[in-house]
Amino acid sequence: MQTFERVTGANGASESKGQLQISRNVKTRAQRVIRGIEIADLWTDPQTGTHYALAVLRRLQAAQTLRDDIDRLDNATRIYVDKANQEKDPLKRIAAASRAVEAQIERASAQRSLQVVDVTGRGIPSPWPLAQLRSERENLIQDLTLATRATGPDSDAVHAVLDGAVSAAGFTLKSPDQAQFTLTAAFDNGEIEQREGWYWQKGTLELSLSDRDNKVRGTQRWNIKSSALSKSDARHRAMDQMNKILKGDLRAVLIGFADNK
């Protein structure tokens, strides 16, 4: 969930700050529609004991609720698009572009519902084609350059996993002197324990992002656990788990670092 609010400064100009909620929660979207439902009649089948209810949804009320949601999401998108275009920090530009995409994904759902209850069947077409917003976000992601490094035991293997995850996420790998940011992975794999014929590998993977001024923009940690019938297999499975985590989470983690001060 992301938040913002629009405030008017002393000079009359509007700016974004804090708290409009953008949520892709399916339950929340459903509640927006069903809160206008009225129960017109109740009936119980005397033979089975099954209870029935006749629910009535007023078309105009439901349509207005959806239009209000669409207006809110369009306002959010407008602010995020403006920030993506104006922000100088490349990480914050990607974060803003991603939130614009998220807002329009939710808007598309509201639009589909509105087309059902709207007497015209048209709803409110979006000013921002979702495919275009996604393309612009991907371009920003490709433009962000990262240098990678790994520390700790098995650093070569961890480094290879990290490079693969960066490429899979769509970012561009560069040398340290050319990159905008440096991404460091530290894997503390601890000692392998043997219990009941199984070898257990436990460790912690820490990922940190720093800029050219060596300012840390964010850190993220994951617990790594694996087991196998041999030490080598236990280590191999730990690396597989790390690879799966990084390829699944890396993009979202780096975008989340944009909110750190």
Name the pTM for this structure: 0.75
Q: Please report, in tens digits, the pLDDT of each residue of the chain (261 residues total).
A: 444 444 444 444 444 444 344 444 444 444 554 555 666 678 888 888 898 877 656 677 888 889 999 999 999 999 999 999 999 999 999 999 999 999 999 999 999 999 988 878 889 999 999 999 999 999 999 999 999 999 988 899 999 999 999 999 999 999 999 999 999 999 988 778 888 889 998 889 999 999 999 999 999 999 999 999 998 899 899 999 999 999 999 999 999 998 765
Tokens encoding 171: 């970012």
Helix or strand run (H / E) with residue 219? strand 216-228
Alpha-carbon gap, residue 50 to 42, rounded angstroms: 11
Q: Hey, what are 239's tokens?
A: 């690396």
Strands 14-16 and 193-195: unpaired
Domains and CATH numbers, the chain: 6-141 (no CATH), 144-257 (3.30.160.150)
Q: Using the CB atoms, write b or e for 191-211: b if 16+ within 10 Å.
A: ebeeeeeebbbbbebebbbbe
